[in-house]
Structure 1
Amino acid sequence: MRRTTMVIALIAVMIPSTATADDLSVDEAQQALRRGVEYFRDHVSIEGGYLWRYAADFSEREGEVPASATTAWVQPPGTPSVGAAYLDVYELTGDKYYLEAARETARALVQGQLQSGGWDYRIEFAPEDRKKHAYCADKNQSDDQDKSNADETPHQKKKKRPPRNTTTLDDNTTQAALRFMMRIDRALIFQDQPIHESAQFALQSLLDAQYPIGAWPQRFSAAPDSEKFPVKSASFPDEWSRTYPAIDYRSYYTFNDNTIADMVDLMFRAAEIYDDPQYMAAAERAGDFILLAQLPEPQPGWAQQYDAEMHPAWARKFEPPALTGAESQGVMRTLLRLYDRTGKAKFLQPIPRALAYYQSGVLSDGRLARFYEIGTNTPLYFTKDYQLTYSDDDMPTHYGFKTRNNLDAIAKEYDKRKNSNHPGSAKPLTELKKAPRLSAKLKQRAAAVVDAQKENGAWIEPARQRNRSNIPANTPCINSQTFSDNIVKLARFIAASKNSR
């Protein structure tokens, strides 16, 4: 019965409206915006935090994996993404209701900040679940978890685990949280003490976690021992195992999923918001690591991750030591951005060699392989049972073993900078949102958002099929990304309409 009701509701939402873009007034857009945010705060939020998506009847809730009603997700498009959308709306409209919504979300992130300084993928709000995490907000409570009870047996003591205290930079998790925290800190004129202290502590922890060579790990619980991580140039190992070694790779110098690119961007933004040169210096050190990490001829590209000897290394069972065609494109774009902000020509020098190398490995369909074998430059793939192979006939579907080819676009950007007379003059990254021009397309988008909204303020759409999901495809679903996109579209229309009067 419940499924039938949900399907009927979804059909009702998806019936096209007869309204046109020119019919939408500013008042209607403002009402839809307020209604949507009130619904999300009152019915979707857990103490200001958010997951990725929800069954429309809230029978299922998910981040990257299924989650409980007392869990929020940090990894985008979760809590920081929604908070950033609230802040965008505030900057566009000037309505302090949305600033308070952003503050509420920032306070949720304060509750989820770890003693190691950053954030994990998720935040737990249920008291018993919180005891499993070393949250700063619960410091005394989590400290108690490390203490053994005198009455415990040796087996019980061995089984007992300390609270989780691992900051993750994977998938833009801590970086997204901190980008939002810095923005809301500035919007509140640095006067909200818990938010300001959280942002400052996180930034200092990231500075402390940066290796002497300038890289960052995928995850960390404490600052590294510098003696264990000497500064070296990248080189190829004499040999590498084709068998997955199942070792802990979290401390490796990590480009995977654009971890260092995200960190460089974060440091640029911190330098602007706090007017502090130490953050720009950290970004430059990361740039120097990128220079050191470029592998020698005849394969002058980059690997996904490197061990302390600066050799390409295994990570997960489908991520071998190899040259990467995916993350290396992000590395080159990061070098371009470093040149834009520093004016230092050294950040352009590795790009021509890398472009030529990767152009030589373009696949027959125009894409690049995710992995190229050390020595032979042959594309590497995996079978569905995770056997390393040269064949792409039996690949797992959860991972991109082939990737988009953006080399021509990168080459154009390189040529533009090579001939630039104004290096180091990039525009600020953290300017406040401004009213756009009121265009027909903007009107159409805002009208479509209003048409799609349910009377209670929700936007509901058919769920897409996802791995590790309990929400079946086409089930009526509430998506945090859709919500964030929709409220910003409405705010842009409102701001543009008022600005055009």
Structure 2
Amino acid sequence: MLNFFRTTNRFRPVFLGLATTFISAQTFAQQNKQVQQAGQAMLKATKFMTENVSTNGGYVWYYLPDLSRRWGEMEAYKTMVWIQDGGTVSVGHTLLDAYHVTGEEYYYQAAEKAAAGLIWGQSNEGGWNYMIDFAGDASLKTWYNTIGKNGWRLEEFQHYYGNDTYDDDVSSDAARFLLRMYLEKLDPKYKPALDKAIAFLLKSQYPIGGWPQRYPLRYDFNKAGHPDYTSFYTFNDDVTWENVNFLAQCYMTLGDARLLDAITRGMNFYLISQSGNGAWGQQYNMQLEPVGARTYEPDAYLPKYTYGNAMLLMKFYQYTGDRKYLAHIPDAINWLEKAHLPADKTANGIYTHSTFVDVVTNKPIYVHRKGSNVIYGKYYVDENDQNLLGHYRGKTIVDVQKLKDEYARLSALSVKEATKDSPILPRKFEGNASPQHYYDLNRDAIQSPVNETEVNQIISTLDNKGRWLTKHAMISNPYIGDGTSKEETNAFSGTHVGDKTDTSPYRDTSEQDYISTIQYIKNMNTLIKFIRDKQGK
């Protein structure tokens, strides 16, 4: 049941003519009905997911309707839940958002179940792996030695490290969800796990400010002659930024002064790691040289990361008012302009840059593969932009003009104007309520207006069991053993998956229906935004 007494402007007086007042009342009644229908659909769908699909409060990404098979980024055991975006943590954020706009306690109770599952799976160090297996370490090792080992393109799953990861925002977003759970009602039962997660971020940070991909540090998976990359300073998948961001959110809401040093060193690492030509790689070794990670990620500069890191430097200027964060953005812009692909390589203007640029020659380099499985297949690099990988784009789009415009805009502001919303500078708190209940920590909240036609479609497509069934899920071949084919074929050079032994995910193009946690989250977020807009929040 929606709690309309939480709405601040429902009974705002309207001083209009009689006809207009009548039309407004009629419109209001229609809108009120649609809001009620949206709320009913949300609750029905959530009860199905919580009571029929979840495992100890957690979720993977896709399920067959009879729950006989399930997938996160790879196929999962029935005892597993996934942490990565689209799984348990994303559902937890969505449940809290639903609780905020409806006041329905069921959502908070479901979020508590998700939090309990996450706390169960939190390591002694304080972080998380990609997934939690409630059957324990023996089951997880078996998964890695079979399904994980044979995912050709998913090298992060081919080896059991027994430690935690920052990849794909895994540990930082799980920690953010526990922060939100603690702040929601200041329930002290969440504080120990939250404190342990914060301690994990602090102790895993290198002295110069960067973070490794995994921690505690491991060096035991050298693949195809490549060193174990998980200890490298990592920008890939926003590892450094998400950690800085989470610590800033903790500083805003918990007021812990010791976090400022870690935040500052994290921001400064962007300056330390920028190459003399203005570019960045996505990983760096201990000598601060840009290096590859997975075997299809060569030692290279990356235009996409150069753009993203330059944009973040401008954010750090807004955090601090220190113009050192702006000083070398022109170098990044100049490098991006020089690295622009020639017209005949842009696919008629679709792309602007290659994904990878050689650190020595400053020329585009491209990755390809031969073979059919992880045992005998291989990746290689050259300057040929034909026959590129299907699972990892060889070219990309970078809006250099947007970067230039934002740099010009910020450079023209006074320090006071630029830092007016800084989360870390000393200032009196002027927001509503208290910081614990003021900041929106859900970075994925929908901001754009919601189309009411879309809302009606979402409501109407919920079936009588409470499911939003979808097609074309990312599934995989079932594990049948290691690959045996040694043929250096090109048949799988542009595909997401190799032969039948490859357990990597691929898109199911059939008409098979699936229960999709990702679709549940998407639909819920749209309905939440719709209700929030109607309530005037």
SS in 2 for 1:172: helix
Residues 1:180 and 2:177 are matched in the alignment: yes
Q: How many residues align?
A: 428
**1:82-161 aligned within 5 A:** 82-127=91-136, 129=138
SS of the residue 1:277 aligns to? coil
Unaligned runs of 5+ in 2: 1-29, 143-158, 371-378, 424-437, 476-495, 497-503
Matches within 5 A, 1:425-444: 425-426=420-421, 430-431=439-440, 441-444=450-453
Q: CA deviation at 1:212?
A: 0.8
**1:94, CA displacement in angstroms?**
2.2
Give the Å deviation of 1:256.
Answer: 1.5
Q: How does 1:298-313 map to 2 (within 5 A)?
A: 299-313=277-291
Q: What TM-score do you get using the length of structure 1 for normalisation?
A: 0.79
2:204 aligned to which of 204, 209, 214: 209
Task: Report the CA distance shift for 1:438/1:451 in structure 2 as closer, same or farther (over 3 A).
Answer: farther
The alpha carbon displacement at 1:223 in A equals 11
TM-score by length of 2: 0.74
1:56 is paired with a residue whose SS is: coil
- CA–CA separation in structure 2 for the residues paired with 1:97 and 1:380: 52
**Which structure 2 residues correspond to residues 73-472 of structure 1 after superposition, within 5 A?**
73-127=82-136, 129=138, 165-189=162-186, 191-193=187-189, 195-221=190-216, 245-296=225-276, 299-363=277-341, 364=343, 365=346, 366-385=351-370, 386-421=379-414, 422-426=417-421, 430-431=439-440, 441-464=450-473, 467=496, 468-469=504-505, 472=508
AA of the residue aligned to 1:462: K
8 Å CA contact 2:209–2:269 kept in 1: the answer is yes
Indicate how the Cα distance of structure 1 residues 200 and 413 shifts in structure 2: closer, same or farther if over 3 A, else same: same
* 5+ long unaligned stretches in structure 1: 1-20, 134-161, 225-242
* SS of residue paired to 2:515: strand
User: Is contact 1:209–1:223 with CA below 8 Å preserved after alignment?
Assistant: no
AA paired with 1:118? G
Other-structure match for 1:489: 526
- 1:256 and 1:388 map into 2 onto residues whose CA distance is 19
Distance 1:362 1:437, change over 3 A: closer
Question: Would the aligned equivalents of 2:365 and 2:381 in 1 still touch at CA under 8 Å?
Answer: yes
> Which residue number in structure 1 is paired with residue 150 of structure 2?
none
Kindly provide the amino acid, as one letter, of the partner of residue 494 in structure 1: I
Pairwise CA distance, 1:37: 0.4
Q: 1:28 to 1:317 in 2, by over 3 A?
A: same
- 1:257-308 CA deviation, whole Å, 9 max, x = no partner? 2211222211221111212233233122112111111111xx3211111111
Any idea what the Cα deviations from partners look like across 1:397-453, whole Å, max 9, x if unmatched? 1112212212222222211111112122226693378xx999984433321210111
SS of 2:522's partner is: helix
Code of the aligned partner of 2:508 = P
Deviation at 1:61, TM superposition (A): 0.4
Distance change in 2, residues 1:61/1:345 (3 Å) = same
Paired letter, 2:94: A
Q: 1:128 to 1:265 in 2, by over 3 A?
A: closer
Cα distance in structure 1, aligned partners of 2:515 and 2:74: 15
Contact 2:317/2:323 (8 A) holds in 1: yes
2:309 partner letter:
V
Partner of 2:18: none
2:21 aligned partner: none
- Counterparts of 2:441 and 2:162, CA distance in 1: 34
Instruction: Pick closer, same or farther for the CA change 1:23–1:460 going to 2, 3 Å.
Output: farther
AA paired with 1:345? R
> Contact between 2:450 and 2:529, CA under 8 Å: does it hold in 1?
no
Alpha-carbon distance change, 339 to 439 in structure 1, aligned in 2, over 3 angstroms: closer
